[in-house]
Each structure stands twice: as structure tokens, then as C-alpha cells.
Amino acid sequence: MDTKRLSAKLEKALSAQMNVEDLQSHVYLSYGIWASDEGYEGIANFLFRHAQEERDHAIKFMQYILNRGGKPKVEALPSPGKDPKSLTDCFNLVFQHEVDNTQKIYELVDMAMAEKDWATWNFLQWFVQEQIEEETLAMDLIDKLKIAGGDRATDESLFNLDKTLGVMPDEAESARDATGTNP
Ligand code: OFO
């Protein structure tokens, strides 16, 4: 009896996304190593924590495919790419990676909708929400660096920024939780 509850097309696409999330994890790991090497230990800590989150996302895709009777495939990952040229470059790249990944999630949502695979559509909604938060978080990084003076920031403001990001929460606040008294 065939118990698979995913089309071959979606199984392949979800498996590809599992590998994309793992690549995202490597990208954050490589940026964290770059930041640590530059002396930004707080920023490195933030990026390393985020690398772990991306790894968790890969595991969610893996488990979902398995739960639906499919078999995900671990692929060789491409290189995470060159080191950032500066902190501004690093945060801009982080934002762009998140936007690109959001696009990939949207394509999966489209696919699930076209197949009327509502279980997969529902599973993917968690990622739609997560990408909103991750893009917000990346925008926060860009804003904080801009306020600190961007690439012309003084050593003192960079020191403070590094300290702030070292303890920055992993999740951005969601608009769903906003209220009049706590916007
Ligand atoms: Fe996996 O959430 Fe960022 O990309």
C-alpha cells in the first residue's frame, strides 16, 4: 500500500528547501566566523544563534516530509560565498538572504495551493510567519547600524552596538502581538 501523502513534485521541492535552510545555516555560520575574526563577538554570537535557527528550519522540513511518508534527500551544499566587506555589507546580505528565502517559501505555498495539498499549505504557514519576523529582524540590524553611524561609526558606538546585538532576542516582535498600549 502506498502511504505517501505528498506528490513527487512537492516531495522534491520540500526536500530542496530542507537543503536551502541548511545552506542558510552555513551562510550565518560563515558570517559569524567573519564577525568574530573582526573582533565583533556580540554580533558573531547573534549570527551563530541564527545559524542554529536555520538548522532547526531544515529539521522541520525533514520531519514534515518523513511524517507525510516521503523521503528527503541531503544534497551537497554550495559554498556560502565570500565574506562580507563590512558590517553594512554583512547586514545588507543578511536581509537579502532572508528576502530570497521568503520568495522560495512563497513558491512552495503556490505549489501546495495549486495541488490543493492543504496539509502542506498549512505546514508552510509557519514559515510565512517566520520569514516576516526574520525580515524584520534583519531590518532592525540595518537600522541599528545606521543609527550607530554605519561604516563611519566610531569605535565607541560599534562597541555598544556589538554589546547590544550580543544579547538581542532571536525573534522580532510580531505585529499580531502589538496593542495600543504596547505598539
Ligand atoms: Fe529559515 O528562516 Fe531565515 O531564511
- How far apart are alpha carbons 183 and 177 in whole angstroms? 8
pTM as predicted:
0.95
| Amino acid, res. 178 | A
Q: Give residue-wise pLDDT tens across range 31-81.
A: 999 999 999 999 999 999 999 999 999 999 999 999 999 999 999 999 999
Mutate to test the pocket of ligand 1, among 98, 104, 106, 128 (most ligand atoms within 8 A of CB): 98
Q: How far is the CA of 21 from the centre of ligand 1 (A)?
A: 6
Determine the atom of ligand 1 nearest the C-alpha atom of 101.
4
- How far apart are alpha carbons 55 and 76 in whole angstroms? 15
Instruction: Report which protein residue has its CA nearest ligand 1's atom 3.
Output: 98
Cβ-contact 40, 10 below 8 angstroms: no
Determine the atom of ligand 1 nearest the C-alpha atom of 21.
1
Q: Give residue-wise pLDDT tens across range 56-68.
A: 999 999 999 999 9
Determine the atom of ligand 1 nearest the C-alpha atom of 57.
1
Domain 8-75+83-169 has CATH 2.60.120.260: no
Ramachandran angles phi, psi of 179, nearest 5°: -135, 175
| Amino acid, res. 19 | N
